[in-house]
Each structure stands twice: as C-alpha cells, then as structure tokens.
Structure 1
Amino acid sequence: MSDAQPAVAIDPTREPIVVVDDLHIIYRVYGSGGGRGNAATALMRVVKRENRPQMKEIHAVRGVSFIAYRGDAIGVVGTNGSGKSTLLKAIAGLLPPAKGGVYTDGQPSLLGVNAALMKDLTGSRNIILGCLAMGLTPEETKEKYDEIVKFADLKPGFIDYPMSTYSSGMGARLRFAIAAARTHDVMLIDEALATGDAKFKRRSKAKIDELRKDAGAVFLVAHNLDVIEETCNRVIWLDEGRIKMDGDPKEVLKAYTDATGK
C-alpha cells in the first residue's frame, strides 16, 4: 500500500498560498557501528576501517498532501516524533523532499524557540539586527522598535541586557515580537507561543489575527491545545508522519485528545 494520501481538491473560491503535494522527508542518521567508547576510539576505528558507521533512514513525513489558503491559520498537532517540526521546516524550504514537493506563493518565514538571536548582544541590538535581516529598512526598523519592545513585555531594563541573561520565556517573546513586526507571506511558528502568560498569549493571538488579514497564512505548532483552538481556523493532526485528520479545530482536537489522552 502506498504511503501517499489522496489528492486534495482546490477550493476555486479561495486563493491557495501553500500546496504540499505527496511530501516525503527522510532523515539519514549515521550510528557508531555498534561499538562503545569515546570520540577518540571511534575515530581510530574509522581510521582503521573497523566498525564503519551504519546508516539508518528515518521516514519523518510520509506522503503528506494539503492546500493552505490565504488567510488560513493552521494548527499542527501530534505526539512527539509525529513530524510536526519537520513539516514546518520543509514548508520553509530548510529540508529537501525525498519525494513530492512544497509550493508557496511568497516567502515562508520560520519562527521557532531556537530561532537565531545573538546571545552576547543586547535585546535592543538583536531587534535592530533581526529587523534588518527580515528586510526592513533602517527607517522602518526605527519605527517598529518601540512596538517590538512593548509587545515583548520584558522585565524593566532587560532590553539593554545581553540575551544570555534572558529566561527561555523572555527570549521566546522577543523572537515572536521581532518576527511579527513585519508582514509575512507565510509565517511558521514552532512552539513560540507555548511560553508566556495568559496576557502574552492574548496579544499573540491578536497579532496572528492581524497577520492573517494583512498577509498570507500562519502555521502554528504548540503543545498547548487551548492556544491552537483559540488561534486557528483549521487543524492538521499528524501521526507517524501522515495526516490523521484535517479540519475544524474543535472536531480535530477532540478526536486527538480522545485518541491520545492529552
């Protein structure tokens, strides 16, 4: 039986912005060949051509097909290892398909909890560099600066401290605030809303609603299902790299929680 899922019909009344067509992502992981020891002994085995590393394939995404339309906010749920983050990276163009493809109308932007900010630089400096990296002009960056600081809601004075002094929650809020400062064709958010208090989550939801109106589509991966239900108009449930269900948030999340107990 093929892993590929049925072709998805296009809604002629809506504008597609992301088309995922029979997507397969395969990781190739190299093991130690079964031997024990430290890095030095492993290197000696390689030099002596003993116990050559064994290659293992992990089929992380298996024949996923769907269409995202302009204005969609799509939640992606699934247990650990189901392929959620891999799917977002593939849509962002960071992982090459082993089979199938991803087609986007515009430039996807991936925002994750590990999004690169310079830990040795201050939050203020990271705002400037992050905005410039997203393509904003110096003038636009200056205009957005106060808005970003206010949205991130850091502790007093922390905007002038190095990022290395920030908690994980503070770093996540600042990353989201920077990314949300411009309009994105396709915005991919991986767990960034999982950290933060209710006040920040409400602001994040309002910002995503704003992005949906002004831009293309938003994809959100979060373990907090309440955030998914409140933010998204559609949910995709991934299970072992395949789409288990795709549809109305309440229906999909109920089926997911019934099946997993989460």
Structure 2
Amino acid sequence: MYHLSGVTKHYRRGGDVVRALDDVGFSLAAGGALAVQGPPGAGSSTLLRILGGLERPTQGSVLLDGTDLATVTASRLGRIRAESVGLLGTGDDEALGSLAGSTVRQGVAAALAPLGLRPVDRWELAGEALAEVGLADHGDLLPGQLDRYARRRAALARALVKRPAVLLADRPTEGLPPAARADFAALLVRVWGAYRLTCVIATDDEALAGRATRRMALAGGRVTAVGRVAGTGRGGATAWCAGGVDR
C-alpha cells in the first residue's frame, strides 16, 4: 500500500532551514495499522500530510499503490485525496463546526462533494457513516450542540464517508477524557477492521499505539526505532528495534 524511500522535508523559517523529516523510509501493507510516536516537533504531523498528499516531500518517493505522490500531477493528486484518503485530526472536530449553519449530517455529506455524487446519495452515505460511529440520531443537530467526544466521532464519520482505502489520524484521542479516549481507540480499531483500512496514526496514547500492528518512533524528523506489536488489538507488547526501518 505505502512504500516510502528517502523522504525528506525542508521548511524555511526566516533565514534558517528546518528539516521536518530526514531520510524517512518504511513500507506498510494494505490493511496494516502503523502508530507513529514522538515528542512535539518530531515530524509526525508533517509525515501524515505527505502521506495524505497535502504536501510533497523536498526529496524522496511516496508510493501509494504504486503511484508516487511526490511526482504525480496536481490533478491526479487531488483525485487520490478525494477518493482514497480519509483524514482525521485533533482539529477536525472543530473544523466540522466551521461550516456555518450546517448540521452534522450536512457537514459529513460535504466531504463527498468532490466525488460528483448525487445529493441524495451523499445524504444517504452521510447517514450511514454517522450510524457507524454511533451518531445516527444526531445528524440534524448543529456541531456546537455536540460534546467534544461526539464531535470527534462526527469528524471520524466525515473521514469514513467516502469509504477510503487509507485513514490518516493525527493524535485522534488527544484532549478527550480517559473513558472517551479508551472508547474512541476501540472505535478506531473496529472501523479499520470493518472497512479494511490501511491506517497511519500519530499518537502519544500508549493504549491506542499498542493496538496497531506496527509502531515507529520519530525524533528530530528521523526514524529512531521501529517495532511490531504482538497480540494486536489486545494492547500487546512491542518488539522494538533501534534505528533503521523494518520493511
């Protein structure tokens, strides 16, 4: 599904060059779930943006099912994002409320607009996605009428409504109370199995990371350790390897 090689990303900040990612490479098979961990500024958010085609690397290749997101045309890249990639971040629950005057269901259905579906089909799929995350009876509410955890689930519905092949989640349980964090982690595990998703999740939530199939640690934009999780889905132990990437 994903194969990255030599991925480096530079930003200019004033007169300085910041290396957000430095020679990152890994492979992730279809249906796999990779948890990316590291301190703030480690590069995980940049990595997710590159995996989702929101940014291109300064150098290196980012193959998604054989298509290099680093070199593909802008129009093709936009189509891949619209059809194949679902994005979920800590800000997505707030973004859902940025559609002034829109109900929750309208906000979810709006994610399908780039696909050219009929309005009636977008409406039906939005209802199905909300039901998948336990919000079937909340579609007519405004986002501001939902609590934070319900908004986070609505944002997940919006990411899932297109039936993507890939789900990219940036610290999805951050800011939630402990019970909601555990419940949302369980929901993510369930949907990535039910939808047969390939997932990359940036998280400092050890319980969520332990339910992935693989883990990768970043520091200063470089891969510092990789590991496979034993007993996936049950919070199993991780076998870590320092440096390099387990392909």
Q: Same fold (TM over 0.5)?
A: yes
Query: Aligned pair 1:126/2:107, yes or no?
Result: yes
Once residues 146 and 60 of structure 1 are traced to their aligned partners in structure 2, the CA distance between those partners, rounded to angstroms, is: 39
Query: Aligned pair 1:235/2:215, yes or no?
Result: yes
SS at match of 2:195: helix
Shift of 1:235: 0.8
1:80 corresponds to which residue?
Answer: 40
Shift of 1:164: 3.9
Structure 1: tracts of 5 or more residues without a match: 1-16, 31-54, 256-262
The counterpart of 1:188, out of the listed 140, 147, 168, is 168
1:71 corresponds to which residue?
Answer: 31
Aligned residues: 210
1:111 corresponds to which residue?
Answer: 88
Once residues 62 and 130 of structure 2 are traced to their aligned partners in structure 1, the CA distance between those partners, rounded to angstroms, is: 35
Once residues 172 and 215 of structure 2 are traced to their aligned partners in structure 1, the CA distance between those partners, rounded to angstroms, is: 17
8 Å contact from structure 2 (residues 225, 240) kept in 1: no
Once residues 84 and 253 of structure 1 are traced to their aligned partners in structure 2, the CA distance between those partners, rounded to angstroms, is: 18
8 Å contact from structure 1 (residues 21, 101) kept in 2: yes
Q: Supply the AA of the counterpart residue of 1:245.
A: A
8 Å contact from structure 2 (residues 108, 161) kept in 1: no
Structure 2: tracts of 5 or more residues without a match: 68-79, 230-236, 243-247
1:145 corresponds to which residue?
Answer: 126
Residue 237 and residue 135 in structure 1: after superposition, are their counterparts in 2 closer, same or farther (change >3 A)?
Answer: farther
The counterpart of 2:7, out of the listed 10, 23, 47, is 23
2:71 corresponds to which residue?
Answer: none
Residue 66 and residue 81 in structure 1: after superposition, are their counterparts in 2 closer, same or farther (change >3 A)?
Answer: same
RMSD: 2.7
Write out the 4+ residue segments of structure 1 that deviate beyond 6 Å after TM superposition: none
Percent identity for Structure 1 against Structure 2: 23
Shift of 1:219: 0.6
Query: Aligned pair 1:162/2:142, yes or no?
Result: yes
Q: Supply the AA of the counterpart residue of 1:85.
A: S
Once residues 145 and 186 of structure 1 are traced to their aligned partners in structure 2, the CA distance between those partners, rounded to angstroms, is: 18
Once residues 134 and 79 of structure 1 are traced to their aligned partners in structure 2, the CA distance between those partners, rounded to angstroms, is: 36
Once residues 236 and 188 of structure 1 are traced to their aligned partners in structure 2, the CA distance between those partners, rounded to angstroms, is: 15
SS at match of 2:91: coil
8 Å contact from structure 1 (residues 236, 252) kept in 2: no
Q: Supply the AA of the counterpart residue of 2:105.
A: S
8 Å contact from structure 1 (residues 83, 240) kept in 2: yes
Query: Aligned pair 1:251/2:238, yes or no?
Result: yes
Shift of 1:154: 5.2
8 Å contact from structure 2 (residues 37, 44) kept in 1: yes
- Find the structure with the greater CA-based Rg: 1
Shift of 1:226: 0.4
The counterpart of 2:186, out of the listed 171, 180, 202, is 202
Once residues 182 and 228 of structure 1 are traced to their aligned partners in structure 2, the CA distance between those partners, rounded to angstroms, is: 25
8 Å contact from structure 1 (residues 173, 192) kept in 2: no
With the length of structure 2 as denominator, give the TM-score of the two structures.
Answer: 0.73
2:245 corresponds to which residue?
Answer: none
SS at match of 1:160: coil
Q: Supply the AA of the counterpart residue of 2:191.
A: K
Once residues 112 and 173 of structure 2 are traced to their aligned partners in structure 1, the CA distance between those partners, rounded to angstroms, is: 20
Shift of 1:252: 5.2
Shift of 1:69: 1.2
SS at match of 2:112: helix
Shift of 1:174: 0.5
